[in-house]
Structure 1
Amino acid sequence: MLSQSVYTLANQQNGNLAFKLFEFDNNSYFDHMQRNNYFTLILITSGEGHAKVDLCDYAFKENTLFAFYPYQPFMLYSPKPLMGISIQFHHDFFCIYRHQKEIAANGILFNNIYEQPFIHLNESCKSNILNLIQGITSELKSEGFRKDEVLVSYLKILLVMATRIKLDQQSVQNEGERNAKQQFIIQSLKNAIENNFRIKHSASDYADMLNQTPTSLARITKNHFNKTLSDLITERIIIEAKRELYLTDKTIKEIAYELGYEDEYYFSRVFKIKTDISPQVYRNTIGFNKG
């Protein structure tokens, strides 16, 4: 196990946090709502409790790895002490959008509105993850040449491994679905949202597309995702908006229009309701990269 330490790497251009790794042995770090402007990985090595993420509540136990994207609201609460390790990194240190072809973490490990935001690790997977974390810790302690590049390499491997585990667990979950008809409706709904979220924003639109009554589709959606259909649609829109705000220099008005909003101010209100910040503040704090 790692020693009780905190290791950080700052962005040399602006002094902001680029990368951080720390171990925790109590509940004080995450027992209040978080809205961080960086990606957060949390490995629970001991303890159990509940995680409140967005509007959902999940039970978790030890050997759970959480993955939260920037400004995603979350908190962990437990009646007993939680022990584990957290890794936090900023978009400017490693952008999952720009490295999507290499690691495929976006939409699976992060920004996945359809699945729970964590994976369970067996002993073998946990050992592999801890070995990578030990390598990251050693590199953070060193003053070696191009430390940042080595850390990015470790981080890529860790994200790929976690993404593989999540894909495997999703596959097992899907195979375990007893109701084949309901599973077909769920997959059809995912496809419909991915293909139409820019132009169709109402739950009734998707009920019509799937030949379901709004009440029936709402019930299936709530049972499977623990979210309303309107929440799913809006979350998908916000994820796309975040990608555009980070990767492009499009105006907020242009982004709003491309996402089906004639009124940029209404779009900004929807964005702020979901993220607690405005699109402009998101762009300013995440760090627009013109490269």
Structure 2
Amino acid sequence: MEVHSTSGVYLLGIKNSVEEPLLKPAQFAQYTILFIQEGEGIFHADVGAFPFCGPVLLFATPLQVIYLEVSKPFPFTVLQFHGDFYCIEYHQADVGCNGLLFNNIYLEPFVKLSPQESKQFAQLMEQLAEELHAAIPSQMVLQACLQLLLAKSSSIKSRSLSEKQEPTDELMERFRLLLDEHYLHLHKPSDYASLLGLPPNTFTKRITKYFKKTPSLLIQERLILEAKKRLHLTRKSIKEIAYALQFGDEFYFSRFFKKLTGVSPQTFRD
């Protein structure tokens, strides 16, 4: 069940796991949400590996390489939508999911659900499916259902983060702020270790333990996140974006982007 634009672009759709098992690495041009009511395994998103246990919602941004590693197959629902159908950046004030559910290099890309919340999301998925089954699906109704689903997901995620009792490492949280401030011109872990007054080896160990990623990967992902944003939301040329992100030339930028995402900047923009 899906809807397309007049030019044939896939805008929004729902399918079940029989149609799309996701047991092998795949990339999609759309934002992807996996709704798993029962089952457990590991959700792979690019180089990240995230253990999960249903009921849960898993989230992936366009062209991430994703797949499920499971010991026993189980049914689940795949909901996908294109940025041209519902732009999460433009609707940030309404749903608050950009940087929380999607496009966050620090948080685990899933929302754990209670049994009651799982029932509510099952109903929302059914409403979307019913509208998609209509002879002429209403884009307004589909967007409203999608917006509600994203807003509820963001609310649950925010609440779970505020309730976590895990101790906060102030130096590591300071690194997060420093990376957002300096990612354009500081590309080496040693640069951030120096700013925090830590030996490079100690810095790397603490970052990896705290964020479950190496500092080098976090720096690269922060650059890619900004590149994707500019490719999607601006009309600047690849060359202009490359120079804005402090790359020596557009060819180096293209190689860097493709190494991390598996596709070229132009392919991502298209």
Question: In structure 2, what is the equivalent of residue 143 of structure 1?
Answer: 135
Question: In structure 2, what is the equivalent of residue 195 of structure 1?
Answer: 181
User: What does 1:156-235 align with in structure 2 at a 5 Å threshold?
Assistant: 156-173=147-164, 175-177=165-167, 180=168, 183-235=169-221
1:10 to 4, 16, 20: 4
Q: Give me the whole-angstrom Cα distance separating, in 1, the residues matched to 2:156 and 2:202.
A: 32
Question: In structure 2, what is the equivalent of residue 3 of structure 1?
Answer: none
Question: In structure 2, what is the equivalent of residue 22 of structure 1?
Answer: 15
Aligned-residue CA RMSD in angstroms?
1.6
Q: Give me the whole-angstrom Cα distance separating, in 2, the residues matched to 1:213 and 1:171.
A: 31
2:235 to 237, 246, 249: 249
What residue identity is the alignment partner of 2:141? V
What is the number of residues matched between the two proteins?
270
Question: In structure 2, what is the equivalent of residue 109 of structure 1?
Answer: 101
SS of residue matched to 1:49? strand
SS of residue matched to 1:19? strand
The reply on whether 1:238 has 2:224 as its aligned counterpart is yes
The reply on whether 1:267 has 2:241 as its aligned counterpart is no
Q: CA deviation at 1:76?
A: 0.1
SS of residue matched to 1:71? coil
SS of residue matched to 1:46? coil
The reply on whether 1:56 has 2:42 as its aligned counterpart is no
Q: Give me the whole-angstrom Cα distance separating, in 2, the residues matched to 1:44 and 1:25.
A: 13
Identity %: 33
Residue 109 of structure 1 contacts residue 117 of structure 1 at CA under 8 Å; is this kept in 2? yes
1:71 to 63, 68, 75: 63
Q: CA deviation at 1:23?
A: 2.1
Q: CA deviation at 1:25?
A: 5.0
Q: Give me the whole-angstrom Cα distance separating, in 2, the residues matched to 1:212 and 1:172.
A: 30
Gaps of 5+ in 1: 1-6, 285-291
SS of residue matched to 1:83? coil
Residues 44-70 of structure 1 show CA distances to partners (whole Å, capped at 9, x for unaligned) of 112211122221222211201101000
User: What does 1:274-289 align with in structure 2 at a 5 Å threshold?
Assistant: 274-284=260-270
Q: Give me the whole-angstrom Cα distance separating, in 2, the residues matched to 1:61 and 1:20.
A: 24
Q: Give me the whole-angstrom Cα distance separating, in 2, the residues matched to 1:207 and 1:142.
A: 57
Q: Give me the whole-angstrom Cα distance separating, in 2, the residues matched to 1:211 and 1:221.
A: 14
What residue identity is the alignment partner of 1:176? E
Q: Give me the whole-angstrom Cα distance separating, in 1, the residues matched to 2:179 and 2:117.
A: 33
Instruction: Compute the TM-score of the two structures, normalised by the length of structure 2.
Output: 0.95
Instruction: Compute the TM-score of the two structures, normalised by the length of structure 1.
Output: 0.88
What residue identity is the alignment partner of 2:156? I
Question: In structure 1, what is the equivalent of residue 145 of structure 2?
Answer: 154
Residues 141-193 of structure 1 show CA distances to partners (whole Å, capped at 9, x for unaligned) of 2235x7111111111111111111112222233x322xx5xx11221111111
Could you list the structure 1 runs, at least 4 aligned residues long, displaced by more than 6 angstroms after superposition. Answer: none
